Structure 1
């Protein structure tokens, strides 16, 4: 059933991209796309919105919707076929996740309840660092041989997921309970599972990465920089979000 859903999403995205490709020219810069993607980086943006009530929740929802619309436009009008498919699929799933978060009063209240774990804002620093580490790893992946870059992206993301789960457990279990850990991991996975299934093949877990990745590349991915080193590396980077790096890695890839 899951594979049927992935195929269906792929077909919908592919049709939309084919329709949008006719007569459209790119009118966005990479810098503008990076700013759009920043809006979607709830984990990674230290200026993010942490809604404490329903009014602030509406502000959060509007902010996220704008980011999704913007990334979808960038994918449709500016990217070559494979990145269009990947980012189009991500935007489709992100829109569905946001719709479920923002539409019903109970879902909105649930989000506000679980976000309380992240208050005050500096409490989220360990989660932001998980995102920073993934973006720094993308620079390492750029240096891999071309055949190993997609596996590198997938395995790097599994390391990111593991980092998020471990730090959510440390942060949230004492404050709002294990339910919050599952809530936000489901939030992350629901936005990315279809893209990961579509692109990653056998590299679908840390265990599979350990087994199948090129050993030298896997060793490089597993290097854990100190927090200070991560912050210093991020300060050197031109872009805030992972989107420019991801596009540059997969731009010439064909399924």
Structure 2
């Protein structure tokens, strides 16, 4: 894929996997828009990447705020006229440690779904018209292996005992949304897939992951840059197809 004229947007990109996804896309020659809830933090991160000679610009985008989403769509449409790549990276994990599955509060469930699912859906819906203006639109939904119902149901799986329910179920819902959207887009030029970044050392898990942030961004970047013969509606970790 020729990336030199591509326009990408990465949500939740002021730090961690999102910021590294921006870096890797920009290093591949994609003009990448770094989005964050705080414009100041988005600008700060963008200036650092621009200082490295990378084609990055900043935008304020809160995935839980409809006016913020609408303003970002208008801005990108005015600047670029289309969007080629959307990486839905923004997400939170706010399950309360030590509480059982049935003890997590409704506030935790609602806050988790507001960002991890409803925010993702809202951003995708808002940017679909611009993605349809691309000759080869790509949507990457950052999920998690913790969204796999198959693995959560298997006592022999590595995640069987890893129950952070609101987060896990929100990612299962992201996977289900991806399948539904892929069906809608099956005859279009847009491809949508969902990914597991790996167990990455980030602030979300207090640095207790197994792989570095650079490796955690690789699957998102790979799926963002697939050619016309690439997958549609899949669930991936690097080259591995994950079970739903």
TM range (shorter): under 0.3
Say which structure, 1 or 2, has more relative contact order (CA 8 Å, 6+ apart). 1
Using the size of structure 1 for normalisation, the TM-score is 0.27
Using the size of structure 2 for normalisation, the TM-score is 0.28
Q: Compare the two structures and name the one with the higher helix fraction.
A: 1
